[in-house]
Amino acid sequence: MNEEEVKSLLLELQSGQKSWAEVAEHRYVFSMMEHIGSIDVELRDDLIYQVFWRLIHNRHLSNELMIDMLNTALSDIYLFDEIGGNGVDSVFKRSYTALLIALLLNQDLQHPFLTEEMIGKVKDKLVTYLDLEEDIRGYVTDKGWAHSVVNTAYAVDELVKNPKLKVADYDEIFQSLVNKIFTSKAVYLSSEDERVIMPILTMLENGLSIDIAKGFFERIPPFLAKQKEKASTKKFVILQANCKMFLKSFYYIASTDKKYAFIERKIERCLTEIS
């Protein structure tokens, strides 16, 4: 089905001309997936994503179909489609695939259908994707939100809530998340820092070593000092801006809960040293 056919189908669904049972069929679900990264904002955001949310949340899809969807989403032609490209439309396909993965992971939390092995596979793929994604744009004029960092962090947050994920995997996930923040490619302007903090807090709740978090904040001042010597002035200013924004957001969130007092103190010292 082409974009217009998918759009017509989903509009019929919204108007009540088609039933959820019809749209839950394998061929329609995968037709929607084919256009998950459309630059038509209405089709991508208001129709495909919203219909996927309702199909999954309201349990219109079989476990077997959702497993097929997840395996497809993790493939080279979805989550890794044209990976490494920057400033091109393929980012929408990768980013909205990450959102679909988040929906499927959330459903597994409510009504388990994924194996421990599959959760491990999702972890490996999301970590690799975080490391490889170069396009970190937020809002793109006339095309809507690309938001690869925000959408992937959302998927990671659903992943780290899963009891089938090994706590031993948290360190690797933590490093991938913070590496995405400490970039000199562009200044984050669309709440990327706040979204990345959410899975970090989830991991701290579920067993991420406090020493790992403490060590991370201690390494920031010497890291920035080294980058100041190596990087161009422009790149360093961008890197420092992203770093400070992340630390300030983390500080604010930590200050609202006494159990994060150790983080609050570490961030205070860190901000003082890099100011």
* Pick from 182, 179, 193: nearest CA to 150: 193
- Dist CA 44 CA 33 (whole Å): 10
Whether 69 is covered by a domain: the verdict is no
* Pick from 180, 191, 187: nearest CA to 156: 180
Whether 67 is covered by a domain: the verdict is no
Task: Tally Cβ neighbours within 10 Å of residue 196.
Answer: 25
Q: Are residues 126 and 162 in the same domain?
A: yes
Q: Are residues 107 and 224 in the same domain?
A: no
> Tell me, what DSSP letter sits at residue 46?
I
- Dist CA 163 CA 152 (whole Å): 19
Q: Are residues 15 and 3 in the same domain?
A: yes
Whether 68 is covered by a domain: the verdict is no
Q: Are residues 216 and 183 in the same domain?
A: no
In the listed set 156, 182, 208, which residue is the last one of a domain according to the structure? 208
Q: Are residues 199 and 218 in the same domain?
A: no
Give the amino acid at 2: N
- Dist CA 231 CA 239 (whole Å): 10
DSSP three-state, residue 131: helix
Give the amino acid at 92: F
CB 235 within 8 A of CB 181: no
Give the amino acid at 159: L
Whether 66 is covered by a domain: the verdict is no
| Residue numbers of the domain that contains 128 | 74-208
Whether 143 is covered by a domain: the verdict is yes
Whether 231 is covered by a domain: the verdict is yes
Measured CA distances, 7 to 29, 45, 240 (Å): 13, 12, 43
Q: Are residues 82 and 193 in the same domain?
A: yes
Q: Are residues 86 and 189 in the same domain?
A: yes
Q: Encode the chain (275 residues) as per-residue pLDDT tens digits.
A: 999 999 999 999 999 999 999 999 999 999 999 999 999 999 999 999 999 999 999 999 999 999 999 999 999 999 999 999 999 999 999 999 999 999 999 999 999 999 999 999 999 999 999 999 999 999 999 999 999 999 999 999 999 999 999 999 999 999 999 999 999 999 999 999 999 999 999 999 999 998 999 899 999 999 999 999 999 999 999 999 999 999 999 999 989 988 888 889 999 999 999 98
Measured CA distances, 79 to 20, 96, 123, 190, 271 (Å): 26, 9, 13, 21, 35
Q: Are residues 141 and 235 in the same domain?
A: no
Residue 238 has what pLDDT? 97
Classify residue 2 as left (phi > 0), alpha (psi -120 to 50) or beta: beta
Q: Are residues 151 and 89 in the same domain?
A: yes
- Dist CA 120 CA 126 (whole Å): 10
Residue 259 has what pLDDT? 87
**How many domains does the chain contain in total?**
3
Give the amino acid at 40: D
Q: Are residues 218 and 202 in the same domain?
A: no
Residue 222 has what pLDDT? 96
In the listed set 178, 208, 238, which residue is the last one of a domain according to the structure? 208
Q: Are residues 220 and 272 in the same domain?
A: yes
Q: Are residues 42 and 127 in the same domain?
A: no
Residue 275 has what pLDDT? 80
Burial (CB count within 10 angstroms: exposed 0-12, middle 13-18, buried 19+), residue 191:
middle
Residue 121 has what pLDDT? 98
Q: Which residues contact 45 (CB under 8 A, 6 or more apart)?
A: 144, 145
- Dist CA 164 CA 271 (whole Å): 36
- Dist CA 149 CA 143 (whole Å): 17
Whether 21 is covered by a domain: the verdict is yes
